[in-house]
Copies of this chain bind each other. A is one copy, B any other.
Amino acid sequence: MQKETSIDHALRATWQAVAKMYNEQASKHDSTMATAFVLLNIDYENGTPSTALGPQMGMEPTSLSRILKTMEENGAIYREKNPEDGRSVLIKLTDYGKEMRKISKESVLIFNEKIRAHISEEKINNFFEVTEKINNLISERLIFNTIERKAV
């Protein structure tokens, strides 16, 4: 692989490689990474309020509702009135959805275990420290909210 020259490029290229790999893995089960990701965010036993899913996943409402519609058609989820809040709807897993969720979870576990088997715990912890720091610098708006240099 080409040597990474910038932090954003390393993040983008690595996340895209992971996403491509997860999509290939999901396609073996006629699914997609996005579907697997939704499955993993639905509470196994109690379901999850539809309004909580988007924020929890960092996903746009329109993308999410498109995926939920497909998943409902495929019989992986169903909607149920929330017993604790009549105005909201719970997204719950069908038995098929529960099976698919287990497969998705297993793929995530395998990926993380394989990576950890090849990289020392110290380096992994350092990696988490760096990604957390980047997230904090961005969320605290410390990157671009100062006076910017003029474009050269």
Contact = CB atoms under 8 A, between A and B. Distances in A.
Interface in A105-143: 105-108, 110-112, 114-116, 118-119, 123-124, 126-139, 142-143
B135 A1 contact: yes
Interface string A75-94: 00000000000000000000
B127 A21 contact: no
Contact of A18 (B4, B8, B22, B123): B8
A66 interface: no
Contacts of A111: 7-8, 143-144
Nearest to A148: B110
Main secondary structure of the interface of A (DSSP, over half): helix
A96 to B, nearest CB: 13
A30 to B, nearest CB: 15
A8 B144 contact: no
Given A102-B151, A144-B25, A134 B6 contact: no
> Of residues A15, A102, A106, which shows the largest number of chain B Cβ atoms within 10 Å of its Cβ?
A15
Interface of A: 1, 3-4, 6-8, 10-22, 24-25, 58, 99, 102-103, 105-108, 110-112, 114-116, 118-119, 123-124, 126-139, 142-144, 148-149, 151-152
